[in-house]
């Protein structure tokens, strides 16, 4: 996109969300609808990331959180889980240098210790390589569940209180948020879920407290840049009151 076109698009979409979360749903159904094996849907969905990440970065969105693999996804057939990780590794290893060159900072949110070692080490290397970058914050949820995240944060609070490092009377929202897996992200402003389902599926429940929600019928591999721009335009037209009245 040319600089003039990008500037005009930014103006049209203002105010942009600081933080966009996406539940990338519908890969398997996309494949089934085409008579393809489910792994082909996951690969098509992964290929969709390149353009969307670039557009988010070009627009100046501060953070993009992607729900890649949930704690519940372990219930899927073993061969599908292994294929998911293999596809993720192929994409990640191929793209990390380009993301780094574009100033993207990569973080991973979830229980990384529970991942296959190759996936965990790739995540750690990518985070270390890009940690000084000041561009788009690409936050990937892997082996993630919001209830597990909040349980872990509560245990850390209890541990600090029991050791005397924390006064229980001082525990507040900031104390809890400071112990999340990725504690320095702004709250999610816009959540997009593709695939036609209308639920949060245990994704960033605390961080979504005042998020605007967009449920899109398109399966994730079909979620085009144009549909993303439509969702951002819809967000720009909403009145966000955060519990107050219009105009406050």
Q: Using one digit for the tens of pLDDT, what is the confidence trace for 178-200? A: 999 999 999 999 999 999 999 99
pLDDT at 239: 78
Is there a domain that residue 246 lies in?
no
Give the 3-state secondary structure of residue 241: coil
pLDDT at 247: 52
Q: What percent of the chain has pLDDT over 70?
A: 97
CB atoms within 10 A of CB 77: 9
pLDDT at 243: 65
* pLDDT value at 56 more than 70: yes
CATH of the domain at 180: 3.40.1180.10
Is there a domain that residue 240 lies in?
no
Residues with a catalytic annotation lie at 25, 73
Q: What percent of the chain has pLDDT over 90?
A: 85
Please, what is the average pLDDT of the chain? 93
**Residue range 138-176, pLDDT digits in tens:** 999 999 999 999 999 999 999 999 999 999 999 999 999
pLDDT at 2: 80
Q: How big is the CA angle at 236 (ends 232 and 239), to the nearest 5 degrees?
A: 135
Is there a domain that residue 70 lies in?
yes
Give the number of domains in the chain: 1
Kindly list the strands in the beta sheet with 212-215, ordered across the sheet, starting from the edge strand earlier in the chain.
Answer: 105-109, 137-144, 63-70, 19-23, 190-193, 212-215
Which of 26-30, 62-66, 85-89, 137-141 shows the lowest mean pLDDT across its residues?
85-89
Give the 3-state secondary structure of residue 170: helix
Give the 3-state secondary structure of residue 126: helix
First to last CA, the chain: 37
Is there a domain that residue 5 lies in?
no
User: What confidence category does residue 13 fall into, taking pLDDT thresholds of 50, 70 and 90?
Assistant: very high
Domain that holds residue 77: 16-233
Written as six digits, the tokens of 235 are 């967000």
pLDDT at 93: 85
pLDDT at 4: 87
Is there a domain that residue 150 lies in?
yes
Is there a domain that residue 247 lies in?
no
* pLDDT value at 237 more than 70: yes
* pLDDT value at 30 more than 60: yes
Question: How many whole angstroms separate alpha carbon 16 and alpha carbon 37?
Answer: 37
Question: How many whole angstroms separate alpha carbon 232 and alpha carbon 55?
Answer: 12
pLDDT at 246: 61
Is there a domain that residue 126 lies in?
yes
**Residue range 86-129, pLDDT digits in tens:** 888 888 888 999 999 999 999 999 999 999 999 999 999 999 99
Is there a domain that residue 243 lies in?
no
Question: How many whole angstroms separate alpha carbon 67 and alpha carbon 49?
Answer: 12
Question: How far is C-alpha 13 from the geometric centre of its chain's CA atoms?
Answer: 20
């Amino acid at each position: 996109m040319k600089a003039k076109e990008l500037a005009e698009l930014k103006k049209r979409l203002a105010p942009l969300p600081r933080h966009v979360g996406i539940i990338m749903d519908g890969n398997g159904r996309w494949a089934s609808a085409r008579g393809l094996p489910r792994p082909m849907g996951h690969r098509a969905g992964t290929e969709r990331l390149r353009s969307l990440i670039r557009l988010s970065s070009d627009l100046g969105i501060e953070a993009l959180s992607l729900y890649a693999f949930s704690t519940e996804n372990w219930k899927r057939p073993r061969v599908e889980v292994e294929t998911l990780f293999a596809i993720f590794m192929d994409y990640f290893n191929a793209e990390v240098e380009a993301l780094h060159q574009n100033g993207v900072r990569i973080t991973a949110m979830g229980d990384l210790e529970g991942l296959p070692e190759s996936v965990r080490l790739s995540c750690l290397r990518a985070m270390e390589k890009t940690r000084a970058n000041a561009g788009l914050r690409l936050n990937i949820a892997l082996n993630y569940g919001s209830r597990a995240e909040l349980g872990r944060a509560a245990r850390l609070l209890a541990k600090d209180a029991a050791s005397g490092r924390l006064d229980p009377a001082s525990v507040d929202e900031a104390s809890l948020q400071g112990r999340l897996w990725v504690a320095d992200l702004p709250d999610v402003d816009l959540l997009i879920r593709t695939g036609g389902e209308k639920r949060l599926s245990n994704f960033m429940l605390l961080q979504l407290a005042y998020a605007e929600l967009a449920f899109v019928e398109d399966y994730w591999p079909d979620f085009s840049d144009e549909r993303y721009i439509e969702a951002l335009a819809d967000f720009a037209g909403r009145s966000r009151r955060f519990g107050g009245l219009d105009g406050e």
